[in-house]
Amino acid sequence: MLAYSLNSEGQGGRPEMDGVNAFGFPWCVYGRTPDIEEMENDLPLFIPLSNHWKDSCGHGKYRGGVGTVQIWVTHHVPYVFFMAISDNSKMQTPQPLFGGYAPCTVPGLSITNADLMEQMKEGNGLSLELFPMLKEKSIGGEWQNEFFGRATRPVNQNDVITFGFATGGAGYGDPLEREPELVIQDIKDQIISDWSAQNVYKAQYDPETLRLDPEGTEAARQEERQNRIQQAKPYDEFEQDWLGEKMDESLLAFYGTWPNAEVVAPPFRP
């Protein structure tokens, strides 16, 4: 069992500080994340990417810690057999507090007939930056996006077995209350993206120099607070609308009957 992804999840945000990045496994805090070189020596794997997973944290006044992402490639053998267990692929187990955000869910990504090794051999400047790679599908081959938990299957040499994702921790408190200087530091540390800084935290800054605009940030946050007030409604009206909502049919197999969540299948935590 390769448990790197389990043992490098982000910790949830705390009342007075952020969660720890890649802190460990909540049910086994002493679980170990082995060195990449050790993994490659012990297993028929090549791991060209092993980083913090940017934006995997739940945002908040005190954000959750980010998790990690790796790419696992079948190496030195004709094929391997792969299977995966998972939670947090359809719905997140960790939930935020006091206006914080939940962390992102975990996709099951793989690439068959991948040309990753060919590109690296040719030295054509392939970037292993995660977001551009996912957006542009810069690794050629047949990309698959499915539930992270997967039944046993063969994976051929040089194919991408999976992107090994470890989820982040949940956020604590309203992101609009986060110190703007901490937002800028998170950008510098590659913990959050410019998109999150500008759209979630409403931070205003020079994108080239990352120089903060405190007055612009406060104005943007006040505008967002006013937008929230405009979108608000009395509780009775909210409840009437809410009771008319229904979860997507594809999720009811995991949730149960709507809205009472009566069991319709053997219990299974996605």
* CA–CA separation, 67 and 57 (whole Å): 7
* CA–CA separation, 194 and 187 (whole Å): 7
pLDDT at 25: 82
Give the residue, 91 or 97, on which the prediction is more confident: 97
Tell me, yes or no, whether 41 lies in a domain.
yes
The β-bridge partners of 242 are none
Q: Which tokens belong to 133?
A: 């790679």
In whole angstroms, how far apart are CA 175 and each of 58, 103, 164? 10, 13, 28
The model's confidence at residue 123, banded by pLDDT at 50, 70 and 90, is confident
Mean pLDDT of 202-214: 97
Do 92 and 105 form a contact (C-beta atoms < 8 A)?
yes
* CA–CA separation, 193 and 207 (whole Å): 11
* pLDDT higher than threshold 60 for residue 268: no
* pLDDT higher than threshold 80 for residue 1: no
Tell me, yes or no, whether 22 lies in a domain.
yes
Total domains, the chain: 1
* CA–CA separation, 64 and 169 (whole Å): 4
Q: Is 174 helix (H, G, I), strand (E, B) or coil?
A: coil
Mean pLDDT of 234-251: 87
The whole-chain average pLDDT of the chain stands at: 91
Q: Is 162 helix (H, G, I), strand (E, B) or coil?
A: strand
Q: What is the rounded (10 degree) CA torsion for 61, 189, 167, 74?
A: 170
For residue 112, what are the domain limits?
6-165
The model's confidence at residue 264, banded by pLDDT at 50, 70 and 90, is confident
21-67 pLDDT, tens digit each: 999 887 777 777 888 898 999 999 999 999 999 999 999 999 999 99
pLDDT at 94: 84
Tell me, yes or no, whether 125 lies in a domain.
yes
DSSP 177: G
Q: Which tokens belong to 9?
A: 């999840």
Q: What contacts 98, CB < 8 A, 6 or more positions away?
A: 60, 61, 172, 173, 174
* pLDDT higher than threshold 70 for residue 267: no
